[in-house]
Amino acid sequence: MSRRPTLPPSRPPGTATRHPYPGGPVTQNPFAQDGADDGPPTAPRAGTGATAADGRGSRRSVPKRHGLVLVLCTLVIYLLDQLTKWWVVSAMDEGDVIPVLPPLLSWRFIRNPGAAFSIGTDYTWVFTIIMVLVSVAIVLQVRRVASWLWAVALGLVLGGALGNLTDRLFREPSFGQGHVVDFIALPNFAIFNIADSAVVCGVVLIVLQTLRGIDPDGGRKAKDEAAVGDVGDVGTPGQQRRDHGESSDDEQ
């Protein structure tokens, strides 16, 4: 009758593994955990390791998408403005009027040396410098923008500013003092162009976002400061208990 083979006693998890040769080093099982069997390492928990890194990457990609929206709005407004001005200069003579939706809307070709809606016609160079500064300031904000409305608003303003700036720099009578092409005429209102309309719409959106307390980076600065102030006034539970105890002692 054959004997049943005797198995070696199971080794408790987490114990050292001896080298098979005498005098060999004693090593620790790298996969052993207290209270668990030996085995391969488990997958990282949610929110740690690669998952956390992916989350940080997705957060970093959000401002990039907002920046792309800003750039896209800028290009659309700029191209639309320049194409309409090119058509007006090519198809009309200065002073011509083409009825579109009479009596509400018509095209009337004029050259404007001033700002939007023919404001400040004697300060052409000043408005040229202002448009350059506005354009540079918005470009510096592109990577910081993390709000969709802010991206659209700044894109409208930048596209309009660049459209009129192109006229200032390259149209007659001279560099930096060029006259802007205006052609949209409404009853009892100044004649303007696509760039002027975009700038006004962008400024309105900026004012609305500012009144709502939303910064270009998407944060609500005013509300956050108010919340911090309220927390500071209330204090921690321990502080509240100490204050309550002091008030009780005063009453006694």
- Classify residue 208 as left (phi > 0), alpha (psi -120 to 50) or beta: alpha
Considering 122, 182, 243, 250, which one is annotated as catalytic? 182
Is 249 a catalytic site residue?
A: no
Active-site hit among 122, 196, 233, 250: 196
| Predicted local confidence at residue 50, as pLDDT | 46
Predicted TM-score (pTM) above 0.75: no
Residue pair 146/63 in contact by the 8 Å Cβ criterion = yes
| Residuewise pLDDT in 10s, the chain (252 residues) | 556 666 655 555 555 555 555 555 555 555 555 544 445 555 555 544 444 444 444 445 556 899 999 999 999 999 999 999 999 999 999 999 999 999 999 999 999 887 655 566 666 788 889 899 999 999 998 989 999 999 999 999 999 999 999 999 999 888 888 899 999 999 999 899 999 999 999 999 999 999 999 999 888 864 555 555 555 555 555 555 555 555 555 544
Domain coordinates of the chain in residue numbers? 65-225
Residue 167 bears catalytic tag: no
Q: Which of 113, 134, 235, 227 shows the shortest CA–CA distance to 179?
A: 113
| C-alpha–C-alpha distance, residues 94 and 75, integer Å | 27
Q: What's the gap between Cα 172 and its chain centre?
A: 37
**DSSP secondary structure letter of residue 100:** E
